[in-house]
Structure 1
Amino acid sequence: MESNSRIIVALDFDHRRAADEVVDTLGEECRFYKVGMELLTAAGPGLVEHLVAKGKEVFLDLKLFEIPKSVAGAVRAAGALGASMVTVHSMGGVGIMSAAVAAARDFPRLRVLALTVVTSMTSSDLADIGVTGSTSTEEQVLRLARLAEGAGCHGVTASPQEAVALRGVLGAGTLIVTPGVALPGESPGDHARPSTPRGAIVAGASHVVVGGTVTRAADPAAAFRLVRASLES
């Protein structure tokens, strides 16, 4: 896989104009964008259709967590928009993940990813929601990843710190998409389990999601090239 195809730029904005400016600035260099709940709510589905029409791939990060019928409907809507990836919350169980996978079969380009443990969470956060005892964050990630694999998901999202263990459990063909990456010396933001883009890929990630490292840089195109160069070094 070419390095450009492994870098997903997160359009974490609260209005469309800022997202359009980044996309225009990066031009042909960036092929893959993440649209999350904030931007989708602010800008509407037309933004996704616009990106797809420009030849971009879209990671629609919805973290779906609802009854299976509702999840299936949202996945079909994502497929109709032309999204390449959509996320479903693995903590909702096998039922909603299986419903998502079944709904995606009508859209050959669409991949269902199971969110394992949100990258801002730590073991103490897991204890707050009842995942107690000696269970570590990594153990919970692996448990949920196995559930996702059994449900037929095409891959998972997790922090780069779990990528090595995930690759060992899931095998070579599974997508492992890792938010929480930043260039050396830069802040990882709200991510509690971060790494660098190169560190994530070396650990076994198939894709890295970069946000402010690129989108809030003085020169987003130059920052994107630095991320790409780090993957190629």
Structure 2
Amino acid sequence: MENKLKLAKEKLIVALDVDTGEAALDLVKKLSTQVGMFKVGMQLFYQAGPDIVKRLKEAGVRVFLDLKLHDIPNTVAQAARGLTALGADIINVHAAGGTAMMRAAAEAVREQAAALGRPAPRVIAVTVLTSIDPTAFQYELGFTCDIQRKVADWALLTRQAGLDGVVASPREIAVIRRACGEDFLIITPGIRPAWSVAGDQKRIMTPAAALGQGAGYLVVGRPITGQADPAAAAQKIITELAEVL
């Protein structure tokens, strides 16, 4: 069971959706022995600045830098170089930016990492945000296919562009696996334990169910960080994951 708990820990990414570097580092102090990686998103990065990534790396933790780059290829490539220099372990772009943009990001990351003499961060693409439900997808965003079909198409495009994987709802894991194979990385937000509330997430799944579907990493935020005892909440999720490994 000990080995399963260790593996479960490595699959858990905690979202540091807080406003200050001090709050983020406090959570890391409470959770670093139980969590394999921490996610820095727009909320923290834009308020604490790029230095928060360096501070987290100095604290000895792995960082998923979730800024969802989406612009013309040259702009995204130059931004990706900067994020690589910060020391992030995973960075992401939007698959909707297209093949040229994604390929430019991946090439820039690998070139910058080689120049710095360090391992390249993994580059992944966001497919359809987990806050989007089928009604918004079709009637607001204007897609005529269903969400699963579009996610599978974007995942395949991502693989063809040379990226390492995607961010997608756990509801789409199976179709991504069929399209892209078992070695393609899938990171799943929209993870909600049965004992938590869904919040603004629409396409959700429990941790054990997502892992059973084939997720590589699970991103969990408020069900852990919003609890009075974040470490206890994280341990509860890790124990649930270990039971299905």
Shorter-chain TM-score above 0.5: yes
Q: Match of 2:136?
A: 125
1:40 Cα shift?
0.2
CA 1:150 to 1:27, structure 2 compared with 1: closer, same or farther past 3 Å?
Answer: closer
Find runs of 4+ consecutive structure 1 residues off by over 4 angstroms: none
Map residues 73-112 of structure 1 onto 2, 5 A cutoff: 73-106=78-111, 107=113, 108-112=119-123
- Within the alignment, does 1:196 sit opposite 2:206 as a pair? yes
C-alpha distance in structure 2 between counterparts of 1:15 and 1:55, whole Å: 19
1:195 Cα shift?
0.4
CA 1:24 to 1:144, structure 2 compared with 1: closer, same or farther past 3 Å?
Answer: same
Q: Match for 1:22 among 14, 23, 27?
A: 27
Amino acid at match of 1:175: L
Q: Match of 2:116?
A: none
Root-mean-square deviation (Å): 1.2
Q: Match for 1:12 among 9, 14, 17?
A: 17
Amino acid at match of 1:143: D
1:31 Cα shift?
2.9
Unpaired runs of at least 5, structure 2:
1-5, 114-118
- Within the alignment, does 1:146 sit opposite 2:146 as a pair? no
1:226 Cα shift?
0.8
Amino acid at match of 1:145: A
- Aligned residue for 1:105, secondary structure, equals helix
Aligned-pair identity in percent equals 41
TM value normalised by structure 1: 0.95
- Aligned residue for 2:228, secondary structure, equals coil
1:189 Cα shift?
1.7
1:126 Cα shift?
2.0
1:129 Cα shift?
2.1
1:45 Cα shift?
1.0
- Aligned residue for 2:175, secondary structure, equals helix
Amino acid at match of 2:16: L
Range 175-184 or range 105-114, more displaced:
105-114
